[in-house]
């Protein structure tokens, strides 16, 4: 197991509870002789912290581990910035669901102590890259850990688009858009739209139509190496958007082309040794507990 000495810390902005946990975390790490490097925005909400400060990108170059305090959205933002550096991420949950941030503030020091001693498991999660083209020229680019979503933005009109997978025409569709999700994102927006839950170890991508104008349109699961192309219909009156993890948007126009494929770099998520995907689903999604007699 890796030895962690230089530990980066990122916290979600705008939450008093996050600040409380950040102070507790910093105090614990400093007391145990770890080098703490605060992400620059995080440092701004911890006046008098006395620690080194760095940008997210620099954290990936100088740290052995980055701890993210917040919700799953905080992990998503950190993952996009740090994927290329291959630095492991550990999440402390101060959000709502917490599929990716599975250490609770109530037992932070106990569980963190075990992780820092080498008692942890590692998950590798892939991301998606999305490129938007207009008239054969690049218009915009984004990366997503959860999903790339074509949606109408503020418009209430349906979007007409063509779907191609690995160069093969699949269908033309009129709908509110399409969710292209990784296994990580299968428990997020994709799940709300009726998509399947996929185990994080799967090398697969799911395409989930949003309110399609046909009852026969269903989610499709494809190989994770697939190249997905969306062509926005020339006759569209709406100007849709492409979002990446719901945190970045690119405005599109009729005729634009969106290309989506797996990113060459994966992120590494650190979990305590008792982490279990199915137990997380049971807890976060309210699945029934075992009813069989012991």
Task: State the binding site.
Answer: 72-73, 146-147, 157, 174, 176, 187-192, 247
Q: Rg of the Cα trace of the chain?
A: 21
DSSP string, the chain: -PPP-EEEEEE-SS-HHHHHHHHHHHHHHHHTTPEEEEEHHHHHTSTT--SEEE-HHHHHHH-SEEEEEE-HHHHHHHHHHHGGGT-EEEEEE-SSS-SS--B-GGGHHHHHHHHHTT-EEEEEEEEEEEEEEETTEEEEEEEESSEEEEE-TT--S-EEEEEEETTEEEEEEEESEEEEE-TGGGGTHHHHTTPPP--TT--EEEEEEES-SSTT---EEEETT--EEEEE-TT-SS--EEEETTTEEEE--TT-EEEEEEEEEEEEEEEETT--HHHHHHHHHTPPPP-S--
Instruction: Please confirm, yes or no, whether 72 is among the known catalytic residues.
Output: yes
Nearest partner of 222 among 195, 244, 241, 245, judged by Cα: 195
Distance in angstroms (rounded) separating the CA atoms of residues 248 and 123? 25
- Annotated binding-site ranges for NAD(+): 72-73, 146-147, 157, 174, 176, 187-192, 247
Set 64, 72, 102, 166: catalytic member: 72
Q: Indicate which residues carry an active-site annotation.
A: 72
């Amino acid at each position: 197991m890796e030895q962690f000495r230089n530990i980066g810390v990122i916290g979600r902005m705008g939450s008093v509870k996050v600040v409380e946990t950040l102070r507790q975390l910093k105090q614990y790490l400093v007391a145990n002789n770890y080098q703490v490097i605060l992400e620059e925005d995080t440092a701004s909400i911890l006046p008098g912290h006395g620690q080194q400060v760095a940008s997210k990108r620099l954290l990936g170059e100088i740290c052995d581990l980055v701890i993210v305090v917040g919700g799953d959205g905080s992990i998503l933002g950190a993952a996009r910035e740090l994927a290329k550096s291959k630095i492991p991420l550990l999440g402390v949950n101060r959000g709502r669901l917490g599929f990716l941030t599975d250490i609770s503030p109530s037992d932070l020091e106990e569980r963190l102590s075990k992780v820092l001693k080498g008692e942890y498991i590692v998950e590798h999660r892939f991301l998606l890259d999305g490129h938007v083209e207009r008239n054969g020229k690049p218009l915009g680019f984004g990366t997503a850990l959860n999903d790339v979503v074509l949606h109408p933005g503020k418009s209430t009109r349906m979007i007409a688009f063509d779907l191609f997978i690995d160069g093969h025409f699949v269908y033309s569709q009129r709908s509110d858009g399409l969710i292209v999700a990784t296994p990580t994102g299968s428990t997020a927006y994709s799940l709300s739209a009726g998509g399947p839950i996929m185990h994080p170890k799967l090398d697969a991508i799911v395409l989930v139509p949003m309110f399609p104008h046909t009852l026969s349109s269903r989610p499709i699961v494809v190989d994770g190496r697939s190249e997905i192309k969306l062509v926005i219909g020339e006759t569209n009156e709406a100007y849709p958007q492409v979002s990446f993890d719901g945190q970045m948007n690119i405005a599109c126009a009729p005729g634009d082309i969106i290309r989506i494929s797996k990113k060459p770099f994966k992120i590494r998520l650190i979990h305590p040794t008792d982490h279990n995907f199915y137990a997380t689903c049971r807890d976060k999604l309210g699945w029934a507990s075992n009813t069989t007699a012991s």
